[in-house]
């Protein structure tokens, strides 16, 4: 076995720099925490003012927290250029920030539709484009997009959300096709309901119990389970994984 495929090297992020949008809490913070523990230097981007404190609390030194709304014009490029200037390179981008505005299709507003597309689809593309330019110059990089089970199956009152996540998977495949020959892999992760603080509140009580009955594994996912999948896709061990959409849904979408 080559040294590049020893366990320690295959599952290490030592010396890598990683950007996580929506990194101040929930899945994003779980991903950032694991990446930092495995040796990466992190830049967290979040509109939550606590993002700087979240970055400072990570294992290791030199992490960066940027308070920015990913939906604002110019925010993706400005954030990425700042990180590249400070870190010297960008090895990993995790497009995690997202929003869910739910309503029956006949009641969905144009404002909610536009906001959903702006945060869930346009921002990930612009972040990928901005980070991709740096990755293309260095000849390597990993982009991981948080999609959803809603990318593959229809969910009641999720017309904008389902559409945005299906589009993220399509975007992932095109970027993987175009950038794969240039040393960049692009993959998506599609979780079921995840028990973040917000997830627990949104799916509390009878609605949550009813949803669990539809999942063959009969439970929701944990943020750490999503983080471990993102970690794998970011490591040298996943060098041949490109254009994939990894479902972490307890079997929900096999039905």
Among this protein's residues, is 252 annotated catalytic? no
188-to-2, 49, 137, 173, 235 alpha-carbon distances in Å = 28, 27, 23, 9, 15
Is residue 219 in some structural domain?
no
Is residue 212 in some structural domain?
no
Is residue 205 in some structural domain?
no
Q: How many domains does the chain have?
A: 1
Beta partners for 145?
95, 188
Q: Which CATH number characterizes residue 74's domain?
A: 3.40.50.720
Q: Which residue has tokens 């970027």?
A: 175
Interatomic CA distance for residues 236 and 129, integer angstroms: 22
Residue 97 burial by Cβ neighbours in a 10 Å radius (0-12, 13-18, 19+): buried
Catalytic residue of the set 35, 87, 125, 161: 161
CB 172 within 8 A of CB 243: yes
Could you tell me the end-to-end alpha-carbon distance of the chain, in angstroms, rounded to an integer?
40
Is residue 213 in some structural domain?
no
Q: Name the pairing type of β-strands 41-46 and 64-67.
A: parallel
Residue 84 pLDDT:
98
pLDDT tens across 147-159, in order? Answer: 999 999 999 999 9
Residues of the chain with pLDDT under 70: 1-4
Full residue range of the structural domain in which residue 39 is found: 3-196+224-247
Is residue 9 in some structural domain?
yes
Name, in order, each residue with C-beta under 8 angstroms of 133's C-beta and a sequence gap of 6 or more.
none
Is residue 109 in some structural domain?
yes
Is residue 207 in some structural domain?
no
Residue 1 pLDDT:
44
Beta partners for 44?
20, 65
Is residue 208 in some structural domain?
no
Q: Which residue has tokens 């590049």?
A: 4
CB 155 within 8 A of CB 139: no
């Amino acid at each position: 076995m080559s040294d590049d495929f020893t366990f320690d090297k295959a599952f290490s992020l030592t010396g890598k720099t990683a950007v996580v949008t929506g990194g101040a809490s929930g899945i994003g913070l779980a991903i950032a925490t694991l990446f930092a523990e495995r040796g990466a230097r992190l830049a967290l981007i979040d509109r939550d003012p606590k993002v700087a404190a979240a970055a400072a609390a990570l294992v290791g030194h030199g992490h960066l927290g940027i308070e920015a709304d990913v939906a604002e014009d110019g925010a993706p490029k400005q954030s990425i250029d700042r990180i590249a200037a400070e870190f010297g390179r960008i090895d990993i981008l995790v497009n995690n920030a997202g929003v869910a505005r739910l309503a029956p299709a006949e009641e969905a507003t144009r404002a909610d539709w536009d906001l959903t597309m702006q945060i869930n689809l346009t921002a990930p593309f612009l972040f990928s484009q901005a980070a991709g330019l740096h990755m293309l110059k260095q000849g390597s990089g990993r982009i991981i997009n948080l999609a959803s089970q809603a990318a593959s199956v229809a969910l009641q009152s999720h017309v904008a959300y389902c559409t945005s996540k299906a589009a993220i998977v399509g975007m992932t495949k095109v970027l993987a096709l175009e950038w794969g020959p240039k040393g960049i892999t692009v993959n998506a992760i599609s979780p079921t309901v995840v028990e973040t603080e917000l997830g627990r509140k949104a799916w509390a009580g009878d609605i949550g119990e009813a949803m669990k009955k539809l999942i063959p594994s009969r439970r929701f996912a944990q943020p750490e389970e999503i983080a471990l999948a993102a970690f794998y896709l970011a490591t040298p061990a996943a060098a041949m994984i490109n254009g994939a959409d990894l479902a972490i849904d307890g079997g929900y979408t096999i039905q």
